[in-house]
Amino acid sequence: MRWPIRNQVLVPMLAVQGAVVLCLSLLSAHLASHAVARQMEAQARSVQRTLSESRFPLTDRVLEQMAGLSGAEYVVMDSEGRLQASSDQRLATTLAASSGTVRDTGFRKTRLSDRTYYHRRLVVDRRRLGGTPWELHVLFPSAAYDEAWRRAVYPPLVVGAVAWLVVSLVSWRIARRVTDPLARLQRHVAKVAHGDFQPLEVRARRDEVRELVLAINRMAELLAQYETNVRKAERMETLAHLGSSMAHQIRNAATGCRLALDLHRRHLSNTQGESEELTLAQEQLERIERFLERFLQLGRSAGDGERETESGLAWTFRSAAGGNADVQSVVESAVRQVRPLAEHWGVTLRVETIKTDGEVAAPADLLEQALVNLLRNAVEAAAERAHRACTIGAGGPTAGENTAYVQLTCRTDSEFVEFLVADSGLGPSPQIAQRLFEPFATDKRGGAGLGLALVAWLAESCGGTADWSREESATCFRLQLPRSGGNS
């Protein structure tokens, strides 16, 4: 059975408070009863002394005056039970008929003449005054006694009830301040369990509940990060499995194409000389073969242990790490591959090399592919902006004017080689700006979202960095790799 914390706090507190109020009320009632009884006893004894020591005769008039002052009724009888005087004749007659059964045992509750009294029998000794001992019957109306008892009991009882109500409200409010945030946390944890990792609002109160909220928010953040990593790993796993099966078929086709192209190039070289276009096409096919061969290694048993902790393509780059590449050769080859695309789209491709002698600590083919990816993205971005300017702008650029450009700048120092690719494009959209180098992050129609991921993986596997920035009207991508040991 569910026992809410609110009830666990309220019920014991209210039970204790109610018991305290009840005990105080009973104690007040007990003390009030004794106080009223002592007051009646003292009043009866005072009347007894007064009548015993006074010299005035005990007449009905005297007893009536005393009854008016004290609120009690008085009846005086002789030793033989004959009535001598009384404050109420009818009451005296009724009492005389039953006086034989009365004993001097303190106040006793009795009913006389349809009314209830507290009856006490005392002896009035007037022998010192020349008289005889008489019996004094003191009768206090029970209504007066009950009224005095209520005046003594009801005030603490009312105060206790009000205090109990106040404590109940305060306890309920305190319990709500604890249980409401817990209920809110319970609902939030249920959302987290269903995959909603939005953080819960942190209240200003600095208490244990706030610390619990912060801990749950931290847990949700870690779970969201873990889910992202798991989804990324699942996508890469799928890509590795599908890619391995496809790469085998593509490699066979590329090999056959390269062999046929090689035969055709040899035939032309015997008659017309070497063709630069055929040489470039053959190099591209050879590069495709090498990359597909490396991709196929994902399915081999040699890499199973490593791939448990990293994505498949990242492992591909790590498996190829360790080679060195000549900076100048790689830059020239990458530019040669991208220039036809730039000319097709009408984009100016500029290259600036500053002290590019030496080698970089990275595989030549992978570095070349990374530069090709950066340059192709830059050319497409610059061409898209130029196309929009022609379509949307008022008249667009004048004939022969070319505002689209891509610039590749290569710098080297004693430790690193830096490749900087700047373009005149609009830059990435805000939706993916913070995750450009993540796999499958793209806003380009028909894009796979792997080009920049390959650049990031290459930089990571070789101990370098890859980042981007928006500078004035240009988008700049920076790839920094360490120089090889022989040139440091």
* pLDDT tens profile 392-415: 554 444 434 457 899 999 988 888
| 324-393+402-488 and 5-154 share a CATH fold | no
pLDDT tens, position by position, for the chain (488 residues)? 667 776 777 788 778 877 887 787 778 778 877 887 888 888 888 888 888 777 777 788 888 888 888 888 888 888 777 888 888 888 888 877 765 544 556 788 888 878 888 888 888 887 777 677 888 888 888 887 788 777 777 787 788 788 888 888 888 888 787 778 888 888 888 888 888 888 888 877 777 778 888 888 899 889 888 888 888 778 777 766 666 666 666 766 777 777 777 777 677 766 665 666 677 677 777 777 766 666 666 545 334 444 443 444 554 554 555 578 888 888 988 898 888 889 988 899 999 877 767 788 888 888 888 999 999 999 998 988 887 776 655 444 443 445 789 999 998 888 889 999 999 988 888 888 888 888 777 777 766 677 888 888 888 888 899 999 988 888 999 999 998 865 44
Asked: is 5-154 a CATH 3.40.50.720 domain? The reply is: no
Q: Tell me how far apart the alpha carbons of residues 410 and 351 are, in angstroms, rounded to a whole number.
A: 8
Place of tokens 């409200």: 169
> Which phi and psi angles does 86 have, rounded to 5°?
-160, 160
Burial (CB count within 10 angstroms: exposed 0-12, middle 13-18, buried 19+), residue 97: exposed
Q: What is the pTM assigned to this prediction?
A: 0.47
Q: Tell me how far apart the alpha carbons of residues 66 and 78 are, in angstroms, rounded to a whole number.
A: 19
Tokens of 40: 């009646």
pLDDT attached to residue 420? 94
3-state secondary structure of 373: helix
Task: Kindly list the domain boundaries of the chain, sorted by start residue.
Answer: 5-154, 197-320, 324-393+402-488
CB atoms within 10 A of CB 410: 22
Q: Tell me how far apart the alpha carbons of residues 271 and 274 are, in angstroms, rounded to a whole number.
A: 9
Phi-psi region of 345 (alpha: psi -120 to 50; beta: other; left: phi over 0): alpha
Place of tokens 């319970």: 186
CB atoms within 10 A of CB 63: 23
* Residues 6 or more apart in contact with residue 56 via CB below 8 angstroms: 62
- Torsion angle, CA of 323/326/327/333, rounded to 10 degrees? -100
Give the tens place of pLDDT for each residue, 119-128. 888 888 877 7
Q: Pick from 95, 79, 98: which is nearest to 87 by CA?
A: 95
> Which phi and psi angles does 294 have, rounded to 5°?
-65, -40
Place of tokens 């105060």: 159
Burial (CB count within 10 angstroms: exposed 0-12, middle 13-18, buried 19+), residue 270: exposed
Q: Tell me how far apart the alpha carbons of residues 74 and 62 are, in angstroms, rounded to a whole number.
A: 10
Asked: is 324-393+402-488 a CATH 3.30.70.20 domain? The reply is: no
Mean pLDDT of the chain: 78
Inter-residue contact 435 to 420 (CB < 8 Å): no
pLDDT attached to residue 296? 62
* Radius of gyration (C-alpha) of the chain in whole angstroms: 54
Inter-residue contact 79 to 100 (CB < 8 Å): no
Q: Tell me how far apart the alpha carbons of residues 341 and 336 are, in angstroms, rounded to a whole number.
A: 10
* Residues 6 or more apart in contact with residue 458 via CB below 8 angstroms: 317, 362, 366, 367, 370, 464, 466, 479, 481
